Chain A
Amino acid sequence: MTQAVLSRREFFRLTAAGFLGFFGVWAVLAASGLVQTLFLPSPLEVAGKFFELTQKPFVGYTLQQHLLSSFGRFAMGFGLAVVIGIPLGLLMGWFRWLDRIVTPLFDALRFVAPIAWVPFAALWFGTGIGGPVLIIFSGAFPPCVINAYRGARYVEVRYIEAAQTLGAGHWRIITEVLLPGSIPSIVAGLRVSAGLGWQSLIGAELIVASSGIGYLMVKGQSNLSTSTVMSGMIAIGIVGFAIDLLLRALEARIERRGG
């Protein structure tokens, strides 16, 4: 079957249908009485709770304040991953010896799920900001390194040779040839990195934090308020989606400019 291009209107209609279907099934299930409300609160109940959380502080803060605190940690961990990961990836793409040293180590470590760092995060940082930042960093770091590295390795040799014959040394080749040549790959990596970072953050806050969306959800759980937990899930989804949209817009812009 050939894939027809969807018009904008059709696109929105289908998206809306997806959401309506999802909430419809959910509402029907919740209303049917087959499942206890505690196990599956109705959509309306969750919406009510969501609104309530934005108005009334829960475990110290409103939903927005929890989100803001989560986002701050995310920004730090993600920022650190970008600032360290991209230069490291580019350097590995240029210096073979560095590649040889780092890659095997890195390939083993990146399979350790971010959440596995939780015991150490707690041990080293307690409930301070360092713990969540470490965990987000461990999630967001690998895609930054890998994509900068791959980008650098796949920069066409003729650009590198042209730069060399024009007298450029290591520094100029890395900053003026490898970096701009790997931008598409790096930006694609940023999207993956941000997604993984944001996911790991919630995991981190479930354990080592005293504010934030993850913390709100744990407290909701211990209060047997499943609608609070679900409100947290929805907030996570919305913010994650917004981050991805932002990076996707950046990606599209760079692709257009690349012509």
Chain B
Amino acid sequence: MSNIVFERVSRQFQRDGLQFPALEDVSFEVRDREFVAIVGPSGCGKTTCLRMAAGLEFPSNGNVRVAGQTVTRPGPDRSVVFQQFALFPWKTVYQNIEFGLRGKGMAQAQRRERVTRHIELMGLQGYDSAYPHQLSGGMQQRVAIARSYVLDPGVLLMDEPFGALDAQTRTVMQEELIRLSRVNPRTVLFITHAVDEAVYLADRVVVLTRRPGRIREIVDVAAVRRTENWDRHERIEEVMEQPSFVHLRTGIWRLLREQQQPARL
């Protein structure tokens, strides 16, 4: 079972000898095979949450556990999809996707089979030997997702993965991610600042306050999705038209709006 538990997590940063808090007393759980999105104003520490689950940063107080183990370092059981893709520019698409598998002591034939399957799954056929800079942003992010999925990780951590994409590509990728998580459900922690993306993708949405980030509310989307049967719609815009969707989205918007600093005139 792969779950993520944040237990009374706080994080302070130090700058110029001053301490300032980034996150304060954050507790929540991403249950096994649950898709949780964190939304919040910029600088509220949502990326910090993800990096702590990844083992790239550590809490100042409290505890982050993945599958029952306190996180002490990065590892392939918690794959990360970064906003800026972070594909290795000196490796081909195939080599990028294969990178994590090579550390698993897997026979070459088996590796090849798995890489090829994920290349097909993400619609990257024919691009095996292309280099990242030869691909569009959308294609690059497909490679990055394939590179994570191929490891069959217990936990998938996605840090604004579609933030750098144009609107159309973004929509396609969101639909693909939904499709992927139906075929192959994972425990996902997903960071975004786009509210409709969060509502469309997630089972639950964690809303953080302005810095220092605290939990404002945790919104249950899965229950609504089930009773309103959003899944009968194939396209994202059809789901977004549903009154139930609009209602949830507006609710979260309000929570975020009250976090806004009044504009200085």
Give residues in A with beta carbon < 8 Å to B: 158-159, 161-169, 172, 176-177, 180-181, 183, 258-259
Contacts and interface: CB of A to CB of B under 8 A. Distances in A.
Given A165-B79, A166-B76, A168-B103, 13 more contacts: A159-B86, A159-B88, A161-B54, A161-B74, A164-B74, A166-B103, A166-B151, A167-B103, A169-B103, A180-B88, A181-B90, A258-B89, A259-B134
B103 A161 contact: no
Interface in B226-260: none
Contact of A177 (B55, B88, B103): B88
Interface residues of B, number: 28
Contact of A172 (B74, B87, B103, B133): B103
A158 B99 contact: no
B131 A163 contact: no
A161 B133 CA distance: 20
Contacts of B115: none
Contact of A165 (B76, B84, B104, B134): B76
Nearest to B77: A167
Mostly, the B contact residues are: loop
B89 A167 contact: no
Interface string B85-125: 01111110000000110111000000000000000000000
Interface of B: 54-56, 73-76, 78-80, 82, 84, 86-91, 99-100, 102-104, 131, 133-134, 147, 151
Contacts of B89: 258
A162 B83 CA distance: 11
B103 A165 contact: no
A199 B87 CA distance: 41
Contacts of A167: 75-76, 100, 103-104, 151
Contacts of A168: 99-100, 103
Contacts of A180: 88, 90-91
B85 to A, nearest CB: 9
Nearest to A160: B86
Contacts of B79: 165-166
B82 A259 contact: no
Contacts of B102: 172
8 contacts: A161-B86, A162-B82, A162-B88, A164-B73, A165-B55, A165-B79, A166-B151, A167-B103
Given A159-B86, A159-B88, A258-B89, A164 B103 contact: no
Contacts of A162: 80, 82, 86-88
Nearest to A181: B90
Contacts of B86: 158-159, 161-162
Contacts of A258: 89
Contacts of B56: 161, 164-165
Among A161, A162, A168, the one with the most B-chain Cβ atoms within 10 Å of its Cβ is A162
Closest 3 CB pairs of A and B: A167-B76, A166-B100, A180-B90
A171 to B, nearest CB: 10
A158 B54 CA distance: 13
A176 B90 CA distance: 9
Contacts of A172: 102-103
A165 B156 CA distance: 11
B99 A163 contact: yes
A131 B16 CA distance: 51
Contacts of B87: 162
Given A167-B104, A258-B89, A158 B84 contact: yes
A57 B261 CA distance: 87
Nearest to A161: B56
A181 B89 CA distance: 9
B196 to A, nearest CB: 27
B133 A259 contact: yes
B131 A259 contact: yes
B55 to A, nearest CB: 8
B99 A165 contact: no
A166 B84 CA distance: 16
A193 to B, nearest CB: 22
A159 B75 CA distance: 15
Contacts of B75: 165, 167
Contacts of A176: 88, 91, 99
B128 to A, nearest CB: 18
A167 B54 CA distance: 11
A217 B261 CA distance: 78
A168 B89 CA distance: 17
